[in-house]
Chains A and B, each alone.
Chain A
Amino acid sequence: MKKIRVWDLPVRLFHWLLAILIVLAVITEKIGGNALVWHFRIGYALLALVCFRILWGIVGSHYARFSNWIFSPSTIVKYIWAKKGSAAKQYPGHNPLGSLSVLALLIVILAQAISGLFANDDIASEGPLAHFISKEWSDKFTWFHATIGANLIYFLVGLHLTAIAYYVFWKKENLPRSMVTGDKQVLGDPPTVNDSARLRLLALAIFAACILLVYLLVQL
């Protein structure tokens, strides 16, 4: 067993910011009233974050890249049927089954943020892009946002936490700690990631560009 860097700092920051913002988005929506303005801002931040993660899936470090964790259906099936214990060690990053959950979360959060831009609350607020479409369509986006999207997020977050609990308590593998330190104990000789200052700066520049893009989008 040896320790390698699996998650670069941008991936870790992305993960924890995403978690915090999702919780805050739910809280501000439940409070309602004047807190809704914060629900909107949090939604914009989440949109920028997911945009960043998509780009980071192309230019990020080894285990952050889609090429490392988008698997074919046959690989996923093989992973599920493989003998437990051996399979986990072959995938220091997202394993084939877990990658489905990551992909689903990214897609659903993206859909949730975008639908929010077009939604309205039938009281006093509407998303910044709602005025481009009819009320009827805005209501459809609202319906998706409030029922489908929200419940999918609850479900996927629940699944995510359950899977982590399974790893921590049954498999004695502390995944949350890895998401803080970035390191994992591995067998064999899998690649360690480039978590250099230069790459972190690149991530910062990409994230800044995503924020600017979202900022311009909501001003339309």
Chain B
Amino acid sequence: MSIKLLSCLALALASTLVIHHASAQVPAERAVKYRQSAYYLMGQHLSRINAVVKGDVPYNKAAIEINAETLNILSKIVFEAFPAGSEGGASKAKPEIWKEMEKFKQMSQASQGEAAKLDAAAKSGDLAQIKLRFNDLSKSCKVCHDQYKQK
């Protein structure tokens, strides 16, 4: 009788722990998936602009504008996807991000600024400006990757 009760209690405790653990994991997992999806899209649109910058694909104002506009929007949302507790897991984000959140934010704002400038250049239709702004934006990505992304 007491053994049954004890095992019931143990099972209840174990399942509570499992559920509690799982519920703590969900927001972190979601945050990782959210930011990785946004970065994936940014990579796609950056690559499309890069193809034009390198001269592999002919310049088309409307196409560049859509790419740059998408990047501008994504740059504004992606850096919000590093909430406290979302470090670790299937992510290459270094834990230093959460330890140095102020610095990380400053770097992300720099990238946002560059994305906005690229967007403006795309709208102006000046290819030389687009190349210049693309260069600055991809550099601002790299600076942050070198510091806060695992290789």
Residues of chain A whose beta carbon lies under 8 Å from any beta carbon of chain B = 32-34, 36-37, 121-126, 142-143, 146-147
Contacts and interface: CB of A to CB of B under 8 A. Distances in A.
Task: Tell me which of A123, A125, A143, A146 has the highest count of chain B C-beta atoms within 10 A of its own C-beta.
Answer: A123
A122 B136 CA distance: 16
A151 B131 CA distance: 31
B142 A34 contact: no
Given A32-B142, A37-B54, A142-B151, A124 B135 contact: no
6 contacts: A34-B53, A34-B135, A122-B39, A122-B145, A123-B43, A123-B46
B contacts with A: majority SS = helix
A94 to B, nearest CB: 34
A123 B139 CA distance: 9
A115 to B, nearest CB: 13
B47 interface: yes
Contacts, number: 41
Please classify how large the interface on chain B is, using the bins under 10, 10 to 19, 20 to 34, 35 or more: 10 to 19
Given A34-B53, A34-B131, A37-B54, A123 B138 contact: yes
A124 to B, nearest CB: 4
Interface string B108-151: 00000000000000000000000100111011011001000101
B70 interface: no
Interface string B33-71: 000000100010011011001100000000000000000
A218 to B, nearest CB: 12
Nearest to A121: B142
Contacts of B131: 34
Contact of A124 (B50, B136, B149, B151): B50
